[in-house]
């Protein structure tokens, strides 16, 4: 099974930036996604990059976060700019072994997950 591993989390002040990475244990051609979760809340979709088609973002991060994928290294990135305290969460990358263009923003649709990396934004 594919294993995913996130890195790059940490503490930052509001207005700052962080870049998260997600490395796969093997080369995969699948849609990828970023989710985040705070204690007591359901995992929240941040955005995804499908097999084909445009990268899509949640309204709460649109214009501030950028998802990209390095095909040569098979690493997914999440560049987070203009961070605010509401972005504090544990961030997870996800993938799903599926063909086609469809992607869901519901976390249960995704079947490969990393262990998560904590992002804490202070005011």
Give residue 26's pLDDT: 86
Give residue 72's pLDDT: 87
Alpha-carbon distance of 76 to 80, in angstroms, equals 13
Give residue 92's pLDDT: 98
Residues 6+ apart with CB under 8 A from 7: 20, 21, 22, 23, 117
Give residue 27's pLDDT: 82
CA dist list (Å): 66 to 37, 46, 76, 85, 88: 18, 10, 11, 18, 17
Each residue's pLDDT expressed in tens, for the chain with a length of 123 residues:
889 999 999 999 999 999 999 999 988 788 999 999 999 999 999 999 998 889 999 999 999 999 999 988 889 999 999 999 999 999 999 999 888 888 999 999 999 999 999 999 999
State the sign of the Cα–Cα–Cα–Cα dihedral 111, 72, 25, 22: negative
């Amino acid at each position: 099974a594919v294993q995913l591993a996130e890195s790059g989390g940490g503490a930052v002040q509001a207005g700052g930036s962080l870049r998260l990475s997600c490395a796969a244990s093997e080369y995969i051609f699948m849609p990828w996604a970023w989710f985040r979760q705070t204690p007591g809340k359901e995992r929240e979709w941040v955005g995804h990059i499908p097999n084909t088609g445009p990268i899509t973002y949640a309204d709460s991060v649109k214009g501030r976060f950028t998802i990209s994928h390095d095909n040569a290294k098979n690493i997914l990135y999440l560049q987070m700019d203009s961070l605010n305290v509401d972005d504090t969460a544990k961030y997870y990358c996800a993938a799903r072994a599926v063909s086609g263009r469809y992607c869901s923003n519901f976390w249960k649709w995704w079947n490969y997950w990393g262990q998560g990396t904590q992002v804490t934004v202070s005011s």
